[in-house]
Amino acid sequence: MVPPQFEPNEPDEDDEEETETPNEDDEAPTAGGDDEEETETATDGVVRNGTAQSDTLVGTPGDDSIVAFAGDDIAVGHAGADAISAGEGADFVNGGAGRDVIFAGAGDDHVFAGADADIVYGDAGADRIFGDQGDDLINAGAGDDTVFGGAGNDLIVAEIGDGNDAYFGDEGAGGSGTDTLDMSAASTAVTVNLGSGPLANGSASSSQTGNDTLWGIENVTTGSGNDVIVAGTAANVMKGGLGDDTFRFSSVEAAKGDTIVGFEPGDRIDLSGIDANYAVDGNQSFTLVSDAAFTAAGQLAVSYETHNGQEFTVIQGNVDGNAAADFKIEIAGHQNLGSNVTL
């Protein structure tokens, strides 16, 4: 919601080529914090430049360019594909509808990207970033940040030295959209738990990217270290990158409908956390069999399938003794599994 005082005046069609100032008596902008420079552009948007003070800069329904510079600024883009640079200071930014690109700058900023597929860079400071609707790309930058991806298939990027962050993909497991955490910048070992339960509460940590908390993040990409990825109870897509990675499944629910991409020699599948036979006390191990025509609990089968022209290695397991598989994991490519599967 944009406060009424920030609503833009509709531009007069006869004045599209004018250069305006916000002051009623048409004086030039001063160093005061409420001044802004406005220039009409051919794309039916405006160019607004702030000062080193605390400015209020409001765009139009067109494609605006807003540069706030230093100070604790308010920048509102409204509709249109806006480019907003908030600069230093504790800023408030609302991109509004449209495919916006927002650079929040240093300082403890509040950013509302608005509807549509937006790109947001947070920079230094303890930022709060709200992606709202659309398939957003959000990089919160340095500092202990809080990111809400909102509806849509969002990509949240963690970078080296970015602090201890909280990442909310959407409204928990089964929320609107499928969200991905990209930790590919990390070259040291990363441990990711994609979480379980109605809030899909998980975690991601490394010496380079800090200790992050996850809610409703379904997918993850890690970097070149020897990573551990623990599958959540949602349908996950997990990409380990380079390094000797371990993909761990701690329950039948966590092993249902998951996909592993980029499985390489040295990577491992860990099923030891799953009780292979529910009818026997304790945690039983699986026995590898030749096919998925199961005859007893505790059996595990590896087969190969092709989907849309791509081959997948399929792991299926049975824990209750009937003929049907109780979980299924797909690994992209034709993989020769054996000792790299912990039963």
Q: Write the pLDDT tens digit of every residue in 74-126.
A: 999 999 999 999 999 999 999 999 999 999 999 999 999 999 999 999 999 99
Using DSSP, state whether 5 is helix, strand or coil. Answer: helix
Question: Residue 283 is encoded by which pair of tokens?
Answer: 């945690």
- The domains found in the chain, sorted by start residue, are 32-144 (no CATH), 149-270 (2.150.10.10), 276-335 (no CATH)
What is the average pLDDT value for the chain, to the nearest integer? 89
Q: In this structure, are residues 60 and 42 in contact, taking their beta carbons and an 8 Å threshold?
A: no
Q: What is the pLDDT of residues 85-97, one digit of tens each?
A: 999 999 999 999 9
Residue 7 DSSP one-character state: P
Residue 33 CB burial class (10 angstroms; 0-12, 13-18, ≥19):
middle
Contacts with 189 (C-beta within 8 Å, 6 or more apart), sequence order: 206, 207, 225, 226, 227, 228, 243
Q: In this structure, are residues 179 and 156 in contact, taking their beta carbons and an 8 Å threshold?
A: yes
Q: What share of the chain is helix, strand, coil (3-state, %, to 5)?
A: 5, 35, 60
Residue 31 CB burial class (10 angstroms; 0-12, 13-18, ≥19):
exposed
Cβ-based neighbour number of residue 12 at 10 Å: 9
Question: Residue 26 is encoded by which pair of tokens?
Answer: 């048409």
- Tell me what pLDDT residue 43 has: 57
- Tell me what pLDDT residue 45 has: 87
Question: Residue 40 is encoded by which pair of tokens?
Answer: 């009409």
Distance separating alpha carbons of residues 49 and 38, to the nearest angstrom: 7
Q: What is the pLDDT of residues 214-272, one digit of tens each?
A: 999 999 999 999 999 999 999 999 999 999 999 999 999 999 999 999 999 999 999 99
Residue 292 pLDDT grade (very low, low, confident, very high; cuts 50, 70, 90): confident
Residue 15 DSSP one-character state: G
Distance separating alpha carbons of residues 222 and 183, to the nearest angstrom: 5
Residues comprising the chain, all counted: 343
- CA distance from start to end of the chain: 53
Using DSSP, state whether 253 is helix, strand or coil. Answer: helix
Distances (CA, A) of 314 to 105, 187, 259, 306, 341: 46, 29, 9, 10, 13
Q: In this structure, are residues 149 and 179 in contact, taking their beta carbons and an 8 Å threshold?
A: yes
**pLDDT at 159 > cutoff 70:** yes
Residue 196 pLDDT grade (very low, low, confident, very high; cuts 50, 70, 90): confident
Cβ-based neighbour number of residue 268 at 10 Å: 17
Q: In this structure, are residues 274 and 251 in contact, taking their beta carbons and an 8 Å threshold?
A: yes
Distance separating alpha carbons of residues 12 and 63, to the nearest angstrom: 16
Residue 298 DSSP one-character state: T
